[in-house]
Amino acid sequence: MMNLLRNTMVASTGGYVTRRLHVPCEVWSQGGAKLTNQDEKIRVVTILCSALEDLQGSSAEYFGAGNVSSGLALGIGSIGRKEAESWLSKLEDFSNVCEHVVANFGKKLGVGEGFVSRKPTWGGKLFSRFDKFTNGKNLDSPAAYVQGLKKLFSFAQLLDEHTRAILSQPVAPAYSAFPMDIRGSAEHKLKRFSEFFATVVLTFVIRDLSQLLDKYVKKCEKWLAE
């Protein structure tokens, strides 16, 4: 779904998000559309992009460049327990980011209820980095929101690749050397990430898209009437 949504933003003709629903690219850039809590959404998107960028770097370090689910990753060496545990710790870091996002923004955005199952152990590192990065910048810009979503949905493909790699039968080479206990833990975390994006990110994005489509249709009706 995230890839389909991104396509509606980057393709000049837009794209289909379902077999029957086509979203023109102009829907995302139309003027006069006021979305609620846009600054908080931009904060969430920026934090997740930063965390996923870090995770992407770790993935390249442990698995090499390329698509881990297709078996085309250019590995830089064999993966033993030490490397597997290190990768699992990176997944744990991202898990803590997700739970902090829900804890700090979930209530105001009306998303992620019940997602946080434990007290997050991750500190405010990314929040501090974000505050420094966005100091003095406009966080209520529709264009910044859409640009952030494009970047986030692109980064999120990394999680999809790893999920497909670990769930494939047989298991993709990237994960076949993992000890069974660590592979099981990694699989659980990747499934939780899918749940996070479904119940948090996609929830508010689809809600915004519905509002934008409604406004776009009304504009089209006005143009036809004229």
CB-CB neighbours of 3 under 10 Å: 12
pLDDT at residue 51 tops 90: yes
pLDDT of residue 74: 47
pLDDT 10s digits, 58-114: 998 888 766 676 655 545 455 778 888 999 999 999 999 998 899 889 888 888 776
Instruction: Output the pTM of the full model.
Output: 0.85
Stretch 138-142: mean pLDDT: 67
Do residues 138 and 144 lie in contact, with contact meaning Cβ atoms separated by under 8 Å? yes
Q: What is the pLDDT of residue 131?
A: 56
Q: In what helix (H) or strand (E) does residue 16 lie, and over which residues does it extend? A: strand 15-16
Question: b/e for 106-143, b at 16 or more Cβ within 10 A?
Answer: beebebbeebbeeebebeeebbeebeeeeeeeeeeebe
Query: What are the domain boundaries of the chain?
Result: 36-212
Task: Give the pLDDT mean for 3-23.
Answer: 91
Does 194 score more than 50 pLDDT? Answer: yes
Band of pLDDT at residue 119, cut at 50, 70 and 90: low
pLDDT higher than threshold 70 for residue 120: no
Q: What are φ and ψ of residue 216, in 5° steps?
A: -65, -40
